[in-house]
A = this chain, B = another copy of it.
């Protein structure tokens, strides 16, 4: 069942982005206990996912964690860049493509700065789903090339992320196609919530969970996953969520006068799920921190020396942790989850 975050109205579990009132939707969690299967990949959590008999390939794996002391904080790095398309987005894409296959939808429209489109293209191709990807002229060349090699029809748009979002929606309406933006898609969050399930099995519940936050799909996935574990009686408390944003593109933190364009994956100044994100922070006694370009560069360099080849957007989580350790907001002895969201191997020049 889908439920509107604004008016509470419910809908059956078909593919749908918003409530008729304009509010955002979430899938209602199953009430049963936590029952991971024996699979050593994402099928482990099929009992908790809105997926029928059609399971897309490749199946995303269980990503490993590496525990490293950062100052006096135990950082749990989760290597979310080790997915088939090189980013955590494969989790959300996998659940979404399963849903589309189940409904016989074979042509869709989306917009993305790169990673979400790349992930969707990778899963759409074997699934036989035709993809129209709306992207910015500024999108990284390597990502666009790969997108085209994966058979996506690329539509370039002049303008910021919000403009691209609008153009894609208009195109879908005009052509009668399904618009699948991960900014709104409730099934995408069903996929990203499995990060919380894995961390729970691999480590337990960290004191803090950081998320590079633009559209909020990772932040909301972590929130929903840990909340379901609590509802299922597995854990007593959720981790405190920390939304890490890029300077100049803040939607939750105060807007900075200068911009961190290095973290292009979260350069989303007006995300449509803002109310959901505020609720996630409020419910977990969470917080927001924004980081600059130079702070991101420093974190990226540290990550490379620690053996993590990630793209700049991934590095903001560590930059945010450093900042909150410095201000004393994250005390010594804490544990903090830092998902590393995207691979640097697409961008060998940039890392």
Binding site for B on A (CB under 8 A): 39-42, 57-68, 77, 79, 82-86, 122-123, 125-126, 142, 145-146, 149-151, 198, 201-202, 304-309, 343, 345-346, 348-349, 351
Of all chain B residues, which has the CB nearest A143? B348
Q: List 5 A-B contacts (CB under 8 A).
A: A40-B64, A41-B64, A58-B307, A61-B79, A62-B64
Q: Which listed residue, B39, B59, B125, B304, touches A305 by the CB 8 Å rule?
A: B125
B58 touches A61 (CB 8 A): no
For the complex, give the distance between the alpha carbons of A131 and B249 in Å.
41
What 5 pairs across the A-B complex have the smallest Cβ distances? A61-B64, A41-B64, A345-B345, A57-B66, A58-B66
Of all chain B residues, which has the CB nearest A150? B304
Of all chain B residues, which has the CB nearest A123? B307
Closest Cβ of chain B to A298, distance in Å, is 16
Closest Cβ of chain B to A124, distance in Å, is 9
Copies of the chain in the assembly: 2
For the complex, give the distance between the alpha carbons of A306 and B68 in Å.
36
Of all chain B residues, which has the CB nearest A127? B307
Of all chain B residues, which has the CB nearest A85? B309
Given contacts A66-B58, A68-B57, A307-B122, A40 and B202 within 8 Å (CB-CB): yes
A307 touches B57 (CB 8 A): yes
Q: Which residues of chain B have C-beta atoms less than 8 A from A60's C-beta?
A: 64
Q: Which residues of chain B have C-beta atoms less than 8 A from A307's C-beta?
A: 57-58, 84, 122-123, 125-126
A59, A61, A82 pick with most chain B CB within 10 angstroms: A82
A67, A149, A151 pick with most chain B CB within 10 angstroms: A149
For the complex, give the distance between the alpha carbons of A83 and B57 in Å.
18
A60, A68, A145, A343 pick with most chain B CB within 10 angstroms: A343
Q: Given contacts A40-B40, A57-B307, A343-B345, could you give 7 more A-B pairs where the C-beta distance is less than 8 Å?
A: A39-B202, A41-B64, A58-B77, A58-B308, A59-B64, A149-B304, A149-B351
B84 touches A309 (CB 8 A): yes
Q: Which residues of chain B have C-beta atoms less than 8 A from A83's C-beta?
A: 82
B306 touches A86 (CB 8 A): no
Given contacts A79-B84, A346-B345, A306 and B126 within 8 Å (CB-CB): yes
